[in-house]
Amino acid sequence: MTTVDAPATTPVVEARAVVVDYHSRGHHTRALDQVSLSVEPGETVGLIGESGSGKSTLARTLLGLVPPTAGEVRYRDRDVYALGATARHRLLGRDTAMVFQDPRSSLNPRLSVGAVVRDPLHVQRIGDREAQRVAVAELLESVGLPAALARRPVRALSGGQLQRVALARALAVEPSLIVADEPTSALDVSVQAQILNLLRQIRSTRNLALLVVSHDMRVIRFLADRTAVMYQGRVVEEGPTEEVYTAPRHDYTKTLLAAAPVLHRG
C-alpha cells in the first residue's frame, strides 16, 4: 500500500512486495504475489480469504518462518530475512506468538497446563523457576482460568479451556504481535463467543498488535480494525473493516460477502 500520509508510528511488522514460490517435483506455485501489508502497534488486522489464497503463508512469512523469494519483511523497521536464521528466530521468538486453530493438535496432550504455558519462558530464559511459576499463575488468570489448572494435564481440558491455555502461552513472552490463525473455527458457538470476547479484551488491555487469519467474515468483522482480502496469492482489497463490509470494491470481496449465510428472522 502506498500511504499518502506517513504514519507517525513504525509498523510492528510490514510486508513489502513479498513473493513466495513453493517448489515441488518440478512444479512451482506462486503462493504470494507482490503482497504488501502492515500491522501498526495496538492494531487488529483481519486477513480473510479461502483455502489456498495464501493467507496462512503470509502469516508465516511475517513471523520469519518462510523466507520470501522476493520482497522484504520488516519487523520494527529491521529487515527480518537479512538476519541469519538464529538471529531472526531470537528476535521474533521473543516478541511474537502464534495461536492455532485446533488446540488439541497444537498443544502436547501429555504435558501439564503449567508446562505448556511455561515453555516459552523457559526457551527464552525469562525469569527463574519461582518467577516463572508466578507468571504462569498470572497468565492463566488473565485468560479467565483458575491458577490451580496448571497442574492438570492438557488432555483433561475442554476445547474452550485449551484455547485459553494457547492464548496464555502466546502472552507469556509479552509479545508485541500475536498471529491467530482461525482461532475459533474449531469451537462451538457459545465457546467461540467467550474466546472472541477474550481476544478483544486482551487486545484493549495490552496494546497488542493482532493479526487474525480467518475464512469467516463474521469473526473478522467482530475483531478487526482493518481487513485485507486475499485471493490467489494477492491482497485484492484492504481498508477499514466497516468500509470493506459496507462498501466492498473488489468483485471477489462482494462474492465473499454474498456467500456468507445470513440469519433470517422472520
**Count residues contacting another protein (CB under 8 A)?**
35
When the beta carbons of 59 and 162 are compared against another protein, the nearer one is: 162
How far apart CA 228 and CA 218 sit, in angstroms, is: 14
Q: Which three cell numbers stand for residue 117?
A: 504455558
Q: Does 257 bind another protein (CB under 8 A)?
A: yes
The grid cell for 233 is: 496469492
Judged by CB under 8 A, which of 83, 193, 202, 236 binds another protein?
193
Q: Smallest distance, Å, CB 60 to another protein?
A: 20
Does residue 173 interact with another protein by CB under 8 A? no
Residue from 62, 80, 90, 54 nearest 179 by CA = 62
Residue the block writes with cell 485468560: 143
Instruction: Candidates 217, 228, 230, 235: give the one binding another protein (CB under 8 A).
Output: 217
Q: C-beta of 221: minimal distance to another protein in Å?
A: 6
Residue 248: HSE in the Cβ half-sphere, 13 Å Cα cutoff? 16
**What is the C-alpha separation between 163 and 157, in angstroms, rounded?**
10
Pick one of 4, 8, 247, 262: the residue that binds another protein (CB under 8 A).
Answer: 262
Answer for the pair 123, 89: CB distance below 8 angstroms, yes or no.
no
- Compare residues 50 and 79 and give the one whose CB is closer to another protein: 50
The only residue of 37, 136, 196, 209 in contact with another protein, by rule CB under 8 A? 196
- Are the beta carbons of 206 and 177 closer than 8 angstroms? no
Q: How far is the CB of 216 from another protein (least distance, A)?
A: 7
Return the range that interacts with another protein (CB under 8 A); candidates 9-17, 84-92, 165-173, 185-193. Answer: 185-193
Please say which residue, 50 or 174, places its beta carbon nearer to another protein. 50
Cβ contacts of residue 147 below 8 Å, gap of 6+?
Answer: 136, 137, 138, 140, 141
The one among 138, 141, 174, 242 contacting another protein by CB under 8 A: 242
Based on CB atoms, which residue is closest to another protein, 50 or 138? Answer: 50
The CA distance from 43 to 177, in Å, is 9
Taking CB under 8 A as the criterion, which residues in 45-64 touch another protein? 50-51
DSSP string, 133-150: HHHHHHHHHHTT--GGGG
Of 9 and 201, nearer to another protein (C-beta) is 201
Site for another protein in 83-112 (CB under 8 A): none
Ranges within 113-152 binding another protein (CB under 8 A)? none
Span of 14-22, 63-71, 72-80, 250-258 interacting with another protein by CB under 8 A: 250-258
Question: Which alpha helices (H) appear in the chain, and where do they start and end?
Answer: 55-62, 85-95, 103-106, 113-123, 129-142, 159-171, 189-206, 217-223, 241-246, 251-259
What is the DSSP-derived secondary structure letter of residue 6?
P
For another protein, the binding residues (CB under 8 A) are: 50-51, 158, 160, 188-194, 196-197, 200, 215-219, 221-222, 242, 245, 255-266
